[in-house]
Structure 1
Amino acid sequence: MTVHLHRKPKGLGEPLGRYSHVGVVADGDPVFIAGQVGMAEDGQLYGDGSFADQVRGAYANLGTALAAVGGTFADIVKMTTYLVGGGTHLPEFMSVRGEVFAEIYPDGGYPPNTLLFVERLVEEPLLIEIEAVAAVPGAAQVAVDDA
C-alpha cells in the first residue's frame, strides 16, 4: 500500500504536533476502524486503568484491528483521537503518544490526526478513543475471524 504523507504543504503552517496535514492513498482497499479504547479483550481496562495504560491499550487495539485485515500502522490514512476531560490529560497524552509513535512510526511519517476533547465516552471509566481510516491492499478479500 502506498500512502503519500505531506507534513507541511505550501501555504499551510507547521503542524502543531505529530501529524501530517495531508495523506493521499495511491492504492489499497479502504478500511474504516471504529474508535478503539483502552479496554482489553476480556473487557477490563488495560494495565491498572491509568490514563497512560488506556492510551497504550487504545493503540494496541488499533494495531490488532489493522492486523485483522492484513494491515499495519503504515496503512493508516487518517486518525481521530477523542480525549475525556478537556485539556487535563493533554500533556500526558502527548508524552505517551510520543513513546508509542516512536515505535510504530520510527521514520517520523505520521498520518493526519484530529484531536478532540469530549465530555465522556460510551462508558464512564474510558478516557481515550482512537478511530482510523486506512488503505490496505487486499483487505476486502481477508477472511476476518469474527469470534
Structure 2
Amino acid sequence: MPIIDFPGPPAPNGYSHTVVVAPGSRLVYISGQVPIDADGKVPEGWADQTRLTFRNVAAALAAGGAGWGDVIKLTYFVTGTEELPAIRSIRDEFVDTSRPPASSLVRVAGLFRPDLLIEIEAVAAVPA
C-alpha cells in the first residue's frame, strides 16, 4: 500500500493522509464495530472499550480474508475526545505503524446504546 506525502497539512499523528490501492486488490469493507463481546457484555472505560472494538474489527477482517496489514482506512465514531491519547495507543497495538491507514475521527452525540463510547469502521485492500 503506497502512502503519498504531499505539501499542505501538518504530518498526521499515527495515520496517513493518502493511501493508494494497488490495481487488482480485493476490497473488504467492515461495518462499524462496537465494544460488545460474544456474551453481549460491554466493558467499562475507554481503554477496555477501545481494545475490544479493535478486537472485533480484527475478527471481522479475518472473516473477510484480511488482516491489519491490509487496512487502508479507519473511521472512528467517539462520544468524546478526552481519551484520544489512549485510543491512539491502543490503535498502535493493532495497525502497522510504519504504514498507518488513512483515518477519520468523528465526535458524535451518542451511539445506538448509551453505554457505548466508540465505534470503528474499516476498509482493507487485500493484494491480488
The TM-score range, normalised by the shorter chain, is 0.7 to 0.9
**Aligned AA for 2:13?**
G
Q: Is the 8 A contact 2:28 2:66 kept in 1?
A: no
1:70 paired residue among 42, 65, 77: 65
- Return 129-138 or 18-27, whichever deviates more: 129-138
Task: Specify the SS of the correspondent of 1:79.
Answer: strand
Structure 2 match to 1:145: none
Structure 1 match to 2:40: 43
2:90 paired residue among 93, 96, 101: 96
Give unpaired runs (5+ residues) of structure 1: 139-147
Structure 2 match to 1:125: 115
Q: Is the 8 A contact 1:69 1:136 kept in 2?
A: no
User: Share of identical aligned residues, percent?
Assistant: 38
Give unpaired runs (5+ residues) of structure 2: none
**Aligned AA for 2:85?**
P
Q: Is the 8 A contact 2:33 2:53 kept in 1?
A: yes
Q: State the distance in 1 between where 2:70 and 2:88 align.
A: 22
Q: State the distance in 2 between where 1:133 and 1:72 align.
A: 11
Q: State the distance in 2 between where 1:90 and 1:137 align.
A: 31
Q: How many residue pairs end up in the alignment?
A: 127
Q: Is the 8 A contact 1:4 1:23 kept in 2?
A: yes
Q: State the distance in 2 between where 1:42 and 1:114 align.
A: 29
Structure 1 match to 2:7: 11
Structure 1 match to 2:103: 113
Q: State the distance in 1 between where 2:8 and 2:41 align.
A: 42
Bigger proportion of residues as helix: 1
Q: State the distance in 1 between where 2:44 and 2:37 align.
A: 10
> How large is the Cα RMSD of the aligned pairs?
1.8
User: How far does residue 88 in structure 1 lie from its aligned partner after superposition?
Assistant: 2.6
